[in-house]
Amino acid sequence: MDIKRPHRRHVLSLVGGAAAVGVSGRAFAQAEPPKPTQIVVNHSGGSMGTAMRKAFFNGFEKKYGIRVVETSPVDFGKLRAMVDSGNVEWDLTEIGGQDAIRASKLNLLDKVDPKVVDRSKYPPTAQNPNVFASSVYTTIIGYRTDVFKGGTHPKSWAEWWDVKKFPGARSMRNHPTDNLEFALIADGVPKDKVYPIDFDRAFKKLDQIKPHVTAWWSTGQQPAQLLLDKEVVLATGWNGRFYDVIKKGGPIEIEWNEGALKQGSFAIPRGAKNPYWANKMLAELAVPQQQAVYASELGYPGLNLESLNFVDAKVKPYLPTAYLDKQFWISDEWYAENGAKAQELWNAWMLKKA
Amino acid sequence: MTTRAAWPALPALILLLVFFLFPVVRMLGFSVEAGTLDWYAKALGEGLYLRVFWNTFEIALLVTLFCLLLGYPLGFLMATTTPGWATFGFICVLLPLWTSVLVRTYAWMVLLGRNGVLNRTLMESGLTTDPLPLLHNFTGVLIGMVHVLLPYMVLPIYGAVRRVDPAIPAAAAGLGASSARIFWRIYLPLTLNGIFAGSVLVFVLSLGFFITPALLGGGRVMMIAVLIEQQVRETLNWPFAAALSAVLLVFTFAVYAVAQRFTQSEATR
């Protein structure tokens, strides 16, 4: 920043400030910190970035005259390195659910300012002091509609495991999260009783499906692509990725039953350069009308429960919040404790010859 | 190298020292931070990690072998053909280098899939009845990696063949040597340097491969870089990640040292 020539900008902001006072006296009373020229928001990128720009960033830029610089990908290791080294590049970053819990424990996050961000319309579970719940996504079953016509597709994990009745190649995520839960549910565990996870039972059940999984996916766009290429006829995947293909007329549909719900989150790294404006951005992310715009683009609804009122009726069936009781929540707390162990067991299981 | 000749290299040396060597040493320091070698015991003692190290080694070796089998004839041809064809060859070899690895990997997915271009052509022409399993397995990883790394083999070999004095094979031919004999007795010994240089490059680069095995292997092919990445980004167990990296680094140096000995003994013979 140029410290040596503050005069002109200073004068300008004083004039601006005076004008603001003229409109409403509150702006002066709040004593806003000076506006930076830009803030940096880190997110997953791709179509999510495009939707965020449309739903939130453009409006923010227009409202405050602060440019929103986007970076990606989301990287917990990098977040920790930034905070530890005191050189925090991001003002706001997306963060995974279990990572958010671990980041809070490691004291890597700033608090969300309740005076700036209104979360009164959020469910109580989504009001973590350090973490802003931005959206809901779920891992569910995607299937090819030309292979499973008229509702003949598997409608539960037990049926997903039933390769006699529902033959065909499958794809699942190359990760313990979701799959351990799905295996237990397929094995008869009620979906509200999967935690704490019984590793032996889960992996024993996974042994049965392993030969029928053609591809273990590692990036979010793979499942939809695998279905489109007829590489597989059934794939687990994130609802928004399937929604994107369905919107474009692809021969894919979603089965929501027993889906694994997760919360997408944003947080302010400790030591961020513009924490006040990061909070202002969170306030923008909490506006129900804007959340509706975002949900219609991607299929990932926000947690301001009023936002569903602003969504088109055609879009609603593709939002996971419409099927909350059919699904279950992934326990971020359990993974924050047992994630490393689960990952190690998963790797060993993947290496095992079927 | 005299001391005076070293001066112009100083900025680069300082740059490497500060921005490369120091961070590497600092990072490796994590692995012994606790004052014990526990993380090394885990890296070298547990079946899972040994298996993955072995997998990595095996894949790197096979990729190097295939790159050599494909790359030598190509490099040789480019070095001995007309300048026009040589330029064409260079474009073919270098163009993929400028394309992102991710794009090339996805392109292979389109080509090699069950309903991919290759399998559909084979089945429509009646050569096969069922799709060949080319993707989401070891074969897919091998094809993808050989494609990405081939230029690193071709270029040193091209250079080595170019350095062979054309008078030598010409003289041999004049004395009645067959082309096979010219190759085995003249070109091969004189281009061993290029072969070793290319092989070391390809082998070492293979050891750190990451995106290609994850996507083309369908999750079944696990290489050590994938596990290190998990430890750094997901599990945040940096000491263990550092220990795994150290083992990989030592192993890489060992391979390099062995190759170096070979090339030197060839060069001084």
Q: What is the pLDDT of residues B163-185, one digit of tens each?
A: 999 999 999 999 999 999 999 99
Closest CA to A75 of A55, A53, A90: A90
Closest CA to A226 of A211, A240, A209, A213: A213
Percent of chain B at pLDDT above 70?
96
Q: Which of A39-48, A163-172, B173-182 has the highest mean pLDDT?
A: A163-172
* Pair A83, A143 in one domain: no
Token digits of residue A268:
């302010």
Residues in chain A closer than 8 A to B237 (CB atoms): 340
The pLDDT value given to residue B3 = 63
Measure in Å the smallest separation between the Cα of B91 and chain A Cα atoms: 31
Which residue segment(s) compose the domain that A124 sits in?
33-136+264-310
The pLDDT value given to residue A25 = 41
Chain A interface disruption, residue of B136, B212, B224, most A CBs within 10 A: B136
Beta-ladder partners of A67: A38
The pLDDT value given to residue A149 = 94
Residues in chain A closer than 8 A to B132 (CB atoms): none
Q: What is the CATH number of the domain that holds A75?
A: 3.40.190.10
Contact A185, A191 (CB under 8 A): yes
The pLDDT value given to residue B2 = 56
* Pair A122, A145 in one domain: no
- Cβ contact A214–B237 (<8 Å): no
Is the omega angle on the peptide bond into residue A73 within 30 degrees of 0, that is, cis?
yes
Partner A contacted by B112 (CB < 8 A): no
* Pair A101, A174 in one domain: no
The answer on pLDDT for A219 being more than 80 is yes
Cα–Cα distance for residue pair A297/A302, rounded to 1 Å: 12
- Contact map slice: A 297-336 vs B, CB within 8 A: none
Contact A236, A173 (CB under 8 A): yes
Residues in chain B closer than 8 A to A222 (CB atoms): 215
The answer on pLDDT for A354 being more than 70 is no
Measure in Å the smallest separation between the Cα of B205 and chain A Cα atoms: 22
Read off the pLDDT band of A223 (50, 70, 90).
very high
The pLDDT tens digits of the residues spanning A114-146 come to 999 999 888 877 888 999 999 999 999 999 999
Partner A contacted by B110 (CB < 8 A): yes
The answer on pLDDT for A22 being more than 70 is no
| Average pLDDT over every residue of A320-327 | 90
Residues in chain A closer than 8 A to B51 (CB atoms): 351
* Pair A142, A192 in one domain: yes
The pLDDT value given to residue B262 = 73
- Cβ contact B115–A230 (<8 Å): yes
The pLDDT value given to residue A26 = 45
The answer on pLDDT for A243 being more than 90 is yes
The nearest alpha carbon in chain B to A169 belongs to B114
* Pair A48, A122 in one domain: yes
Residue A25, domain member (yes or no): no
| Average pLDDT over every residue of A232-237 | 97
Residue A323, domain member (yes or no): no
* Pair A112, A242 in one domain: no
Partner B contacted by A102 (CB < 8 A): yes
The pLDDT tens digits of the residues spanning B225-247 come to 989 988 888 888 899 999 999 99
| Average pLDDT over every residue of B25-46 | 90
- Give the three-class secondary structure for B254: helix
The pLDDT value given to residue A17 = 43
| Average pLDDT over every residue of A244-260 | 95
The pLDDT value given to residue B264 = 67
**What's the total number of domains in chain A?**
2
Read off the pLDDT band of A10 (50, 70, 90).
very low
- Cβ contact B237–A219 (<8 Å): no
The pLDDT value given to residue B115 = 86
Start-to-end Cα distance in chain B: 22
The pLDDT tens digits of the residues spanning A171-196 come to 999 999 999 999 999 999 999 999 99
The pLDDT value given to residue B98 = 85
Contact A119, A70 (CB under 8 A): no
Domains in chain B, please, with CATH? 46-267 (1.10.3720.10)
Is the omega angle on the peptide bond into residue A6 within 30 degrees of 0, that is, cis?
no
Residues of A152-175 as b/e, b for ≥16 C-beta within 10 angstroms?
A: ebbbbbebbbebeebebbbbbbbb
Read off the pLDDT band of B266 (50, 70, 90).
low
The answer on pLDDT for A4 being more than 90 is no
The pLDDT value given to residue A24 = 44
The pLDDT value given to residue A12 = 43
DSSP per residue, A288-315 = HHHHHHHHHHHS---S-GGGGGGS-TTT
* Pair A254, A143 in one domain: yes
- Across the interface, of A169, A218, A347, the residue whose CB is closest to B227 is A347
The pLDDT mean for chain A works out to 89
Beta-ladder partners of A136: A263
- Cα diameter, chain A: 77
The pLDDT value given to residue A3 = 41
Beta-ladder partners of A38: A67
Higher pLDDT among residues B257 and A305, named by residue: B257
Burial class (CB in 10 A: 0-12, 13-18, 19+), A321: buried
* Pair A99, A53 in one domain: yes
The nearest alpha carbon in chain A to B133 belongs to A214
- Cβ contact B48–A216 (<8 Å): no
The pLDDT tens digits of the residues spanning B116-156 come to 899 999 999 988 888 888 999 999 999 999 999 999 999 99
Residue A39, domain member (yes or no): yes
Helix, strand, coil distribution of chain A in percent, nearest 5: 45, 20, 35
Residue A56, domain member (yes or no): yes
Residues in chain A closer than 8 A to B227 (CB atoms): 347
Residue A185, domain member (yes or no): yes
* Pair A130, A271 in one domain: yes
The answer on pLDDT for A9 being more than 60 is no
The pLDDT value given to residue A175 = 95
The answer on pLDDT for B267 being more than 60 is no
Residue A12, domain member (yes or no): no
Read off the pLDDT band of A16 (50, 70, 90).
very low
Cβ atoms within 10 Å, residue B108: 22
Measure in Å the smallest separation between the Cα of A71 and chain B Cα atoms: 17
Which ipTM did the prediction report?
Answer: 0.84
- Cβ contact B222–A340 (<8 Å): no
* Pair A226, A290 in one domain: no
* Pair A38, A61 in one domain: yes
Chain B interface disruption, residue of A229, A230, A349, most B CBs within 10 A: A229
The pLDDT value given to residue B65 = 97
Closest CA to A98 of A288, A324, A341: A341
- Across the interface, of A76, A219, A222, the residue whose CB is closest to B236 is A76
- Across the interface, of A80, A169, A351, the residue whose CB is closest to B236 is A80
- Across the interface, of B218, B234, B236, the residue whose CB is closest to A215 is B218
Partner B contacted by A46 (CB < 8 A): no
Cα–Cα distance for residue pair B1/A340, rounded to 1 Å: 50
The pLDDT value given to residue B83 = 92
* Pair A287, A298 in one domain: yes
